[in-house]
A = this chain, B = another copy of it.
Amino acid sequence: MSETLRSQVTRRDFFKKAVSVSAIAATAILLPKKASADEPEIMHHAKWGQKLGYPVTYNRYGLPSPYEHNNLRRNTKLLASGNFQASIAVTPIHESEGIITPNGLFFSRSHGGVAEVDPSEFRLMIHGLVEKEIVLTLDQLKRYPSVTRTHFIECPANGGQEWRGPQFNSLQFAKGFMSCAEWTGVYIKTILEDLGLKKEALWMLAEGSDNSEMGRTVPVDKVLDDAMIVWGQNGEALRPEQGYPVRLLLPGWEGNLCVKWLKRLEFAKEPWYCKEETSKYTALKPTGKAIQHFYANEVNSTVTHPSPEKPWLGLKKGEIVEIQGLAWSGMGTITGVDLSFDGGKNYVKANLKGLVLQKSWTRWSYIYKYEGKPLLLTSRAMDDAGYIQPTIDQETSIMGVESVYHRNAVETWEVTAEGMVNHVQIRS
Contacts and interface: CB of A to CB of B under 8 A. Distances in A.
A322 B143 contact: yes
Contact of A68 (B235, B237, B261): B237
Contacts of A112: 49, 52-53
Interface residues of A, number: 167
A9 B99 contact: no
**Main secondary structure on A side of the interface with B:** loop
Nearest to A346: B3
A16 B72 contact: no
Given A21-B294, A59-B72, A273 B116 contact: no
B210 A53 contact: yes
Interface string A212-229: 010100000000000000
Interface stretch (A249-257, A283-291, A371-379): A283-291
A6 B36 contact: no
A177 B100 CA distance: 23
Q: In the complex this chain forms, how many copies of it are found? A: 2
B114 A54 contact: yes
B235 A105 contact: yes
Nearest to A29: B278
A385 B422 CA distance: 50
Contacts of A394: 10, 14
Interface stretch (A81-89, A157-165, A412-420): A81-89
A10 B54 CA distance: 56
Interface in A57-94: 57-68, 71-75, 83-85, 87-89
A178 to B, nearest CB: 13
A407 to B, nearest CB: 12
A110 B211 contact: no
A110 B57 CA distance: 10
Interface string A169-192: 000000000000011100000000
A423 interface: no
A251 to B, nearest CB: 14
Given A22-B292, A53-B114, A75-B58, A10 B211 contact: no
Interface string A96-134: 111111111110111011111111010101011000010
B116 A236 contact: no
A247 interface: no
A328 interface: no
Contacts of A244: 65, 67
A198 interface: no
A245 B321 CA distance: 20
A382 interface: yes
Interface in A374-397: 382, 386-388, 390-391, 394
B272 A33 contact: yes
Contacts of A123: 40, 42-43
Nearest to A244: B65
A324 B210 CA distance: 32
Nearest to A269: B33
Contact of A211 (B53, B146, B231, B321): B53
A183 B185 CA distance: 24
Interface-centre pick from A30, A31, A55, A121 (highest chain B CB count, 10 A): A55
Interface in A296-343: 298-299, 314, 319-322, 324, 336
Contacts of A382: 1, 9
Closest 4 CB pairs of A and B: A53-B113, A97-B232, A55-B84, A26-B290
Given A1-B336, A63-B239, A99-B148, 6 more contacts: A12-B386, A18-B398, A42-B123, A55-B84, A56-B73, A57-B89
